[in-house]
Amino acid sequence: MKKMSLVLAAVMATGVILTACGGSKTAQPTTAATTAANGETTAPVEGNSKALDLAVQIGPDPETIDPALNSAVDGGNMILHAFETLLIVDSENKIVPGQAESFDVSPDGLTYTFKLRKGLKWSDGTPLTANDFVYSWKRLADPKTAAPYAGDMLGYVKGYEEASKGNLDALGLSAPDDNTFVVELSAPCVYFSKLVTHGSMVPVEKATIEANADQWTLKPETYVSNGPLKMIEWVPGSHITFAKNENYWDADKVTLNTLKFVLMEDGNAAYSAYQTGEVSMIKTVPTEEVPGLKGKEDFHVEPIMGTYYLDFQNQKEPFNNPDVRMALSLAIDRDYVANTVMQGTYMPATNLVGPGISDAEPGSFFQDITKKNNGKDYFDTKDHEANVAKAKELLAKAGYPDGKGFPVTEYMINDTGYHKPVAEYLQSCWKEVLGITVDIKVVEWATFTPTRRAGDYQMARDGWVYDYDDPSNMLNLMMSTSGNNNAKYSNPELDKLLNEANTTADVAEHYAKLHDAENMILKDAAIAPVAYYTDFWLQNPKLKGTWHSPYGYWFFQYATMD
């Protein structure tokens, strides 16, 4: 966590130089740009006068844009424009070739051989080879990197346990030649090809990282990438601008000249920027504007694969008591939160794994099989009175009848979207229903995620949008070894069950064990699912060629403007 804070401080310090001096040489073409009424910047990067200069808003300054360290959607959205994995997910949500033109899997499911495209290059023009993937995946596993996704992505690669302790050469990775990358697994993983598409699995250039250490992501000239775009300017608190990467293998299809991410956390500021044409798309729409925007051509609402939930710091009293956690969870009127507080832009959570996530049989969904197996959903959102009665009973059982003796606690949020209205509802609900006093602690986004990840809180808002279409992506968060286990939940039985689910070659067994794991997590109230995510945003109707994925990302590299 300290490492992250130092990086952020360095970004802010660098920003003073960029603002005063106009940035590096590669950033100069955009520093004099002005903004037109349709969100386009009028000063193009040299040599491409016909391509689109696009400005959008998807969030504030990211905590990090290091692919190994990022765990947030906003940072991930920038990374996926700058980098490319071996396999990628296309606009139809299908896995297709990326940096690898093909791959083979051994009959026993333990060896993956990826054939890279010939002539791949980094954005600085130097060759990109299979050895770059060996280096990058080893860096992800390196305990010195402290990558939150390391275990989730590489846990089933042969030798990972040794590598996670510092012996990186134990990791089952090799590059027989410049265009061949071989991965050996310790056990079959039925969704490994999906893992390969994750943003943390991109290659990063060894030379720039060794030369610049933690600072490599902060300046255009050191943020060397391999995707359709490359960074050309970062002014902290203002914008991060990317330009077409002429060294990308498929650069001819990229329609953008520049993509400017305008950095805003305040919804009103973002809305104003959209109305004046400073940006052509905003993700942070003020919630008070939603009722008046519904039905308009430029207002979009689409479901995504993800769950909005509450973290209880499971290692701190009184949240180390499952009865306390369950009482707080059952007291929540999920239907009211989703349909009233969130104005119908979310759906009430009835389980942990939500809609759209596949199950074993083609065309089947995990949520439907859960309900079939259990005979009902875990949370009955239509009988809140019964939930409240059970909540009071459990709180009394935990030693706090009607909230007596329960300490004043804090609920930590960042103030965007519906986080504050939901927090105010919870504060009122828990006081009225359980007699518990809760203070709301609002923290800026830059420090919110590292504080939560460090466990330096009592209760906090959280949420997870899937990285790939498999329930394990959500359920693995609760493993004691997960770097994204913000709740600090630890259950050896769950760890064992999930490890079994994730290492079987039997698809049916994989999903059956995941259903058991979900039931275990919910029964223990490790966290409190509240609602299923949707994304809602404003986008200029003239902006075409973009798409929004069920993983909560926007893709702009093929955008055009009518």
Residue 50: the pLDDT is 72
Predicted local distance difference test score (pLDDT) of residue 17: 26
Between CA 118 and CA 447 the distance in angstroms is 42
DSSP 131-188: HHHHHHHHHHH-TTT--TTHHHHHTTBTTHHHHTTT-GGGSSEEEEETTEEEEEBSS-
Q: For residue 50, what are its two tokens?
A: 């016909």
Peptide bond into 318 cis (omega under 30): yes
Domain 305-533 -> CATH class:
alpha beta
CB atoms within 10 A of CB 361: 11
Can you tell me whether residue 559 is helix, strand or coil? coil
The full set of domain ranges for the chain reads: 1-83+210-298+540-562, 94-203, 305-533
Identify the three-state secondary structure at position 11: helix
The architecture CATH gives domain 1-83+210-298+540-562: 3-Layer(aba) Sandwich (3.40)
Decide: 425 and 310 in contact? Cβ < 8 Å: no
Asked if residue 178 lies in contact with residue 99, where contact means CB atoms within 8 angstroms, the answer is no
User: Token match 């890279």: residue?
Assistant: 116
Whether the CB-CB separation of 539 and 236 falls below 8 Å is answered with no
Largest CA distance in the chain: 72
CB 435 within 8 A of CB 406: yes
Backbone φ and ψ for 170, nearest 5 degrees, come out as: -75, -20
pLDDT in tens, the chain (562 residues): 333 332 333 333 333 222 222 222 222 222 223 333 334 433 344 444 578 999 999 999 999 999 999 999 999 999 999 999 999 999 998 999 999 999 999 999 999 999 999 999 999 999 999 999 999 999 999 999 999 999 999 999 999 999 999 999 999 999 999 999 999 999 999 999 999 999 999 999 999 999 999 999 999 999 999 999 999 999 999 999 999 999 999 999 999 999 999 999 999 999 999 999 999 999 999 999 999 999 999 999 999 999 999 999 999 999 999 999 999 999 999 999 999 999 999 999 999 999 999 999 989 999 999 999 999 999 999 999 999 999 999 999 999 999 999 999 999 999 988 999 999 999 999 999 999 999 999 999 889 999 999 999 999 999 999 999 999 999 999 999 999 999 999 999 999 999 999 999 999 999 999 999 999 999 999 999 999 999 999 999 999 999 999 999 999 999 999 9
Minimal CA–CA distance to 537: which of 308, 280, 262, 269? 280
The matching CATH number, chosen from 3.90.76.10, 3.60.9.10, 3.40.50.2030, 3.40.50.300, for 94-203 is 3.90.76.10
Beta partners for 103? Answer: 114
Paired tokens of 176: 């027989």
Q: What is the pTM of this model?
A: 0.80
Q: Which of 383, 396, 401, 379 is nearest to 329 (CA)?
A: 379
Distance, CA of 322 to CA of 420 (rounded, Å): 26
What Å distances lie between residue 222 and 75, 81, 247, 375, 412, CA to CA? 17, 16, 16, 55, 35
Q: What is the DSSP letter of 396?
A: H
Predicted local confidence at residue 47, as pLDDT:
44
- What is the C-alpha separation between 528 and 232, in angstroms, rounded? 41
Treating both helix axes as pointing N-terminal to C-terminal, what angle do 445-453 and 2-21 enclose, rounded to 10 degrees? Answer: 160
Separation CA 136–CA 142 (nearest Å): 10
Kind and range of the H or E run holding 37: none
Using CA atoms of 479, 484, 485, 488 in order, give the dihedral in degrees to the nearest 10: 130
* Residue 183 tokens, joined: 């991965």
Q: Tell me, what amino acid is at 82? A: A
Residue 461 CB: number of other CB atoms within 10 A?
Answer: 22
Could you give the C-alpha distances from 70 to 4, 79, 202, 446, in angstroms and in order? 10, 9, 12, 12
Residue 45: the pLDDT is 46
Query: Rounded CA gap, 12 and 156, in Å?
Result: 38
Helix (H) or strand (E) holding 454: none
Residues 6+ apart with CB under 8 A from 156: 185, 186, 187, 189, 192, 502, 503
